[in-house]
């Protein structure tokens, strides 16, 4: 049993127990410090976020990355440059989307107006503009670096090492 756990988990049962105890203690401290009366709602939110990431987001962006990897050329330096110039703005756009999700999807209009007295303005167009600017800037940087990347270089050297 111990060998099966070590093969599947990567460590022994003591490690798993200590990790579980640490997460439990850390979670309890967060709940006490936050003074949140609805502990179960917070716990549900954290578990939901972990499940949504692990079961939905991770397979989605890993699959997209593998598709991009297959679509690029065979030269490793060119492939890495192209992928990184897509990955970086995609990461920025994705993180902005997650942080500003309620504003982008126009959620909580009544609560916002009751709290501020101002009508809620949608962030959808702003998020699209910022995301487009991130991809455009990345494309411009890639276009500037492209001639240097495509120059003949000795085998085993990277275009970015100069």
On whether residue 104 sits in a domain, the answer given is yes
> For the segment 35-81, what is each residue's pLDDT rounded down to a tens digit?
766 777 777 888 888 898 889 889 998 898 888 888 876 677 778 88
Distances (CA, A) of 135 to 90, 94, 95: 8, 12, 14
Both tokens of 133, joined, read 């600017």
Give domain status of residue 132, yes or no: yes
For residue 47, tell me if it sits in a domain: no
Domain count of the fold of the chain: 1
Decide if 28 is inside a domain.
no
Tens of pLDDT, residue by residue over 6-40, are 788 888 888 889 999 999 998 888 777 777 667 77
Asked, for residue 150, whether it belongs to a domain, the answer is yes
Instruction: Please list the helix, strand and coil fractions of the chain in percent, rounded to the nearest 5, in that order.
Output: 80, 0, 20
pTM of the model: 0.63
Does 141 fall in a domain?
Answer: yes
Q: Is 118 left (phi over 0), alpha (psi -120 to 50) or beta?
A: beta
Dump the DSSP string for 76-118.
HHHHHHHHHHHHHHHHHHHHHHHHTHHHHTT--HHHHHHHHSS
Q: What is the residue whose two structure tokens read 């936050």? A: 34
Residue 112 lies in a domain: yes
Domain that holds residue 133: 74-162
Burial class of 117 by CB neighbour count within 10 A (0 to 12, 13 to 18, 19+):
exposed
Question: 107 vs 89, which has greater pLDDT?
Answer: 89
Let me know if residue 7 belongs to a domain.
no
The whole-number pLDDT of residue 162 equals 45
């Amino acid at each position: 049993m111990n060998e099966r756990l070590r093969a599947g988990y990567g460590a022994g049962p003591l490690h798993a127990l200590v990790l579980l105890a640490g997460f439990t203690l850390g979670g309890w401290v967060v709940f006490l410090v936050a003074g949140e009366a609805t502990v179960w709602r917070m716990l549900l939110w954290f578990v939901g976020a972990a499940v949504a990431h692990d079961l939905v987001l991770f397979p989605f962006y890993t699959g997209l990355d593998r598709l991009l990897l297959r679509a690029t050329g065979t030269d490793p330096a060119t492939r890495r440059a192209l992928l990184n110039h897509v990955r970086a703005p995609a990461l920025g756009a994705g993180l902005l989307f997650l942080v500003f999700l309620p504003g982008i999807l126009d959620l909580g209009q009544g609560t916002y107006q009751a709290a501020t007295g101002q009508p809620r303005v949608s962030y959808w167009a702003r998020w699209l503009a910022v995301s487009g600017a991130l991809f455009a800037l990345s494309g411009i940087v890639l276009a500037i670096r492209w001639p240097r990347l495509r120059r003949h270089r000795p085998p085993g050297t990277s275009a970015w090492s100069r």
